[in-house]
Structure 1
C-alpha cells in the first residue's frame, strides 16, 4: 500500500519493494568461503591426520584461491535454484513449461554461436594487444582465462542448443551481433550495443578480479594470529584483509555467473558515458595514471597507525572503525549474491545495507580512505602536501559520487521497482533521507538526469 504527497514522493508503508536477491544467498556463499579458508589455514593438520601426500603447510597458492570460488559460488547457486527458485522467474526470459524440440531454432542457435565465438575472439585479441595483461598479477588471470577458453567454446554449443529450447525470445543480444557480422537481416544496432556493453564489462572486470584473487587469499591463509589480539594494528589489518578477500571472492563469482537460468544475466550495461569514465578510472590500467599519479593523495602520509601510536585505546577504537567500514563494504557485495558487477543492471537490491543508503559500498569505501590515510596529516610538515592530498582525495570521492549518480540514472530508466525504491529511500533511508533533505535545502528536487552515451 502506498500514497503520494504533494512533492510526488511515494510513501510505502510496508517498507521498500522486495529485493530481487534474498539475504540468504550471499550468506551461504560467505559460509562456504569461510569454511574453505579455515580448511586451507589448517591443511597441514588435515594432511597429517589423513596421511595425505605432499607438504605439510597451509594451502595458500593461487589455485587454492581459485578453488575458493567453487566453495562460495556453489552454495549460492544451489540456494538460488533449490530455495529461491530463481530459474522460474519471468525475468529470466525462460518458459520451462513450453520447451521446443531440440534443434527447432537451429538457425537462430547457429547465428548466436557465431556471435558468441566472434565475441570471444575479439576479447582475446584485446587481451593480447593490451600489454598490462602480460605482466605482474594479470599473468595469473591470463593463464586461467586461456585454460578456460577451449572448454568455454566447446560447452557453449550444448548450452545454446539447450537454452534456446526454452527461451521466450531466442534472438537475444548475441544473435543480433551474429546476424550483423554474417549479413543476416533483422538485427538491431541497439541490441548490438547492449551486447558489447555487457561483454566489455564482463571481459574487463573478470580479468581484473581473477588477477587479484591470489594476493589477499595468501595473506589471510598464511597470517600468524599468535598474539594478534594484543596488537590492535595487526588485528585491524588482518580483519580488513579478510573482509577484502570476501568482497573479491563473492564479487568474482558475480562476474562469472551471468547466466539466464540463474536470473543473473546482465540485463543491460550502463549507457552513460560519464558512468564508464568514472568507473574505469578506478581500475587498472587507468587507475595507475589517474589515481596513482594525477590524483595521488598519499604523498608524505603515514596513516592512522603512525599518528595514533602510543595510545592503545585509540588504536583499538580507530582500528575498529576501519574494520566496521570494511565490513559494510564487504556486506554490500555479499548482499548481491551471484549478481555483483559494476556498470550493470541485473535486478534491484533493496535489503542488507541498501536499506540505509543506496550506495553503501561507495560511502564506506570513501570513509575508509579518509580515516585510514588521514591526508590532512603529513610527515613533511608541508601545508602544500596537506592541501594537495586533501584536495585529491576529495576528487576521488567526487569520482565515486559521479559513479553513484550515473548508476542511479541507469536503473531509474530500466526498472519501475528501482524508481519505487529510490523514492522510498529518499523518505525513509537512514542515511539517504537525511542527505536528501540537506540536498533539497539547496537544490530543487530531481532524479538523476545524465545523458546516455551513443
Structure 2
C-alpha cells in the first residue's frame, strides 16, 4: 500500500529517500475536511449529499496544493510533455483506439456490478447510485480528455490503448500491458464501490453524535475521536481511488501481479470478508470490548481509550500521508514521510494493535475454550495482514526506489529497530 514516483536524491539534512507526496497535500485535505465537518455539525447536515461534499472538501484542496505548490504535473513521472504538444491529427487514431479500450473496460465493470446482487443491497446501493449518476458525464468527458491528454503524452500507447488495439485488431498489443490495465481498473472498481458505500454512515455517525459533556466521559470521548479518525481515513482513501490521473502524477504505475497479493487483500473486504460476523475468522464470539472489562476503573478506561485513539490516529495519518494517491494493491509512488518514516506498514501495525487491545481475546465471557479460540483466530487475522504486507513488498520491490526506501527503513526505522532489539539481532549499519 505504498505508491511511488521517481525519487529525488536525499538531502544531507534528511538522509531519507524523497517522498512522492509532500506533507502539505495531506494537511490541505485535512483542513478542508475539518472545515466542512464544522459546517455540517453546525447546521445538522448529516445526509449522503453532505457526506459526498466531505469528499469534495477533502479532495479539492489536495488537488490545488498538488498543482499550485508541488507542481506535480511537471514531474517526469507523469509521462507528459507540456511544451511539445502534438497536432491532434497525429494522435487522433491512437485516441480513438484508446477510447474503445476504455469504454470496453467500463462496460465490463458495469456488467460485474449488474451481476453482483450484493452491489444493490445495503450501503452498496448508494455506491451504485453514485456510479449511475456519474456514468453518462464520465462517458462524455472521456472523449475530450483522452484526445487532449494523448497530444501531450510521451507515449500514448498505454495499456488502455493496448486493449483497444486488441479489440479492434488495429495494432500489436503487448499482453502484459493489457493485464496491468485490467488489474488496475479491477482495483479501482472493487475498492471505490466499497469506499463510497461506507462514506455516508461513518460521516453521519460523527456529525450526529452529541458532544455535550463528552469531555467528562473518557469512553464517549475516545469513541467519538475514533469515529472522527475513521471519517478522515475513509475520505482520503475514497478521494485517492477517484483521482487516479496522470496530470496529477497519481496514476497507477502497476497493479499487483501476484495472485497471493490479491487473495490476501480481498479476504479483508466484503463480499469476501472472512472476519465479518459469523465468518470463519470472526474472533468476537465469547469476547467483550475493552469498556466491558474495564468498567468501574475510570483511570484505566481513560488510559486505554487514549491508546486506542492514538493508534487510530496513526492509522488515519498513514492514509492521509498518501494525499491523492491512496490505493490498495497498486504502485503509485513511494511514501517515506509521516508514519512511513517509522515503519513500512504503519496502518497494518496500528490496526492490529487496536484489535488486540480493544478486544483482549485472552479474556472471555464464556469459557477458556472460547478465549483460546478467539486468541488463535485473531492471531490468524494478524497473520493475514503480515501476508498482505509481504505480498506488497514483493510487488513494490521491483522498483529500485522502493528498495532504497526499504533499506533505509530497515536501518533507521524505529519499528524495525525495535523488533531487531526484541529478537536480539545486531543493528543494521549498511
Measured against the shorter chain, the TM-score band is over 0.9
How far did residue 435 of structure 1 move?
Answer: 2.5
- Please give the per-residue CA displacement for 1:220-259, whole angstroms capped at 9, x wherever unaligned: 1111000111111111111000000100001100000000
- Cross-structure match for 2:227: 241
Contact 1:297 1:392 in 2 (8 A): yes
- Please give the per-residue CA displacement for 1:263-286, whole angstroms capped at 9, x wherever unaligned: 000000011111110100000000
How far did residue 375 of structure 1 move?
Answer: 1.2
SS of residue matched to 1:246? helix
How far did residue 185 of structure 1 move?
Answer: 2.6
SS of residue matched to 1:162? helix
Question: 1:393 aligned to 2:383?
Answer: no
**Aligned ranges for residues 237-276 of structure 1 at < 5 Å?**
237-276=223-262
Measured in 1, the distance between the counterparts of 2:182 and 2:308 equals 38
Measured in 2, the distance between the counterparts of 1:344 and 1:292 equals 30
Structure 1: stretches of 5+ with no match in the other structure = 1-9, 44-57, 446-454
Measured in 2, the distance between the counterparts of 1:429 and 1:13 equals 16
- Cross-structure match for 2:111: 125
Contact 2:256 2:329 in 1 (8 A): yes
SS of residue matched to 1:181? helix
User: CA 1:439 to 1:175, structure 2 compared with 1: closer, same or farther past 3 Å?
Assistant: farther
Contact 2:21 2:335 in 1 (8 A): yes
User: CA 1:13 to 1:28, structure 2 compared with 1: closer, same or farther past 3 Å?
Assistant: closer
- Cross-structure match for 2:74: 88
How far did residue 104 of structure 1 move?
Answer: 2.2
Question: 1:100 aligned to 2:91?
Answer: no
Contact 1:268 1:344 in 2 (8 A): yes
Measured in 2, the distance between the counterparts of 1:290 and 1:137 equals 15
User: CA 1:291 to 1:409, structure 2 compared with 1: closer, same or farther past 3 Å?
Assistant: farther
- Cross-structure match for 1:422: 406
- Please give the per-residue CA displacement for 1:367-426, whole angstroms capped at 9, x wherever unaligned: 00001111111111x11101110001000100100111111111110x212111100111
**Aligned ranges for residues 428-443 of structure 1 at < 5 Å?**
428-436=412-420, 441=425
User: CA 1:292 to 1:396, structure 2 compared with 1: closer, same or farther past 3 Å?
Assistant: farther
| Aligned length, in residue pairs | 417
Question: 1:34 aligned to 2:34?
Answer: yes
Measured in 2, the distance between the counterparts of 1:107 and 1:279 equals 38
Measured in 2, the distance between the counterparts of 1:366 and 1:103 equals 55
Measured in 1, the distance between the counterparts of 2:411 and 2:214 equals 43
- Cross-structure match for 1:304: 290
User: CA 1:439 to 1:257, structure 2 compared with 1: closer, same or farther past 3 Å?
Assistant: farther
- Cross-structure match for 1:62: 48
- Cross-structure match for 2:6: none
TM-score under structure 2 length normalisation: 0.94
- Cross-structure match for 2:325: 339
- Cross-structure match for 2:392: 407
How far did residue 433 of structure 1 move?
Answer: 2.7
How far did residue 362 of structure 1 move?
Answer: 0.3
Contact 1:103 1:161 in 2 (8 A): no
Contact 1:297 1:390 in 2 (8 A): yes
**Aligned ranges for residues 10-409 of structure 1 at < 5 Å?**
14-43=14-43, 58-287=44-273, 292-380=278-366, 382-409=367-394
